Amino acid sequence: MNWDAISAIGEIIGAAAVVISLLFLAVQIRDQNKEARLLAMHNMSRELRDATRTFANEDITDIFVRATSLTTTLQKQNRSGGPS
């Protein structure tokens, strides 16, 4: 075997190593994206749970409903120019 053949074999092995490393990186990026999506969904679920937990307390819910009702009444009065 001459040096040209050995050089060609080395280049083929090097090219194969580059392709294998690119495939490995593609798999890692795909897995990282999947993990990031799952983490985002988990965080949104936790935020929703925390937000709805507030309304599990009847007193807080009552205050919220009354405040919303009061805001609506005030907006109507504001549009009509005074209490109706």
Q: What is the 3-state secondary structure (H, E, C) of the chain?
A: CCHHHHHHHHHHHHHHHHHHHHHHHHHHHHHHHHHHHHHHHHHHHHHHHHHHHHCCCHHHHHHHHHHHHHHHHHHHHHHHCCCC
Mean pLDDT of the 29-42 span: 98
Quick one: pLDDT at residue 52? 84
Provide mean pLDDT across the span 24-34: 98
* Domain locations along the chain: 3-77
User: Which pLDDT does position 81 carry in this prediction?
Assistant: 62
Tokens of 69: 């009702």
Per-residue pLDDT of 49-78, as tens digits, reads 988 887 778 888 888 888 888 767 766 666
CA distance 18 to 7: 17
Position 24 scores a pLDDT of 98
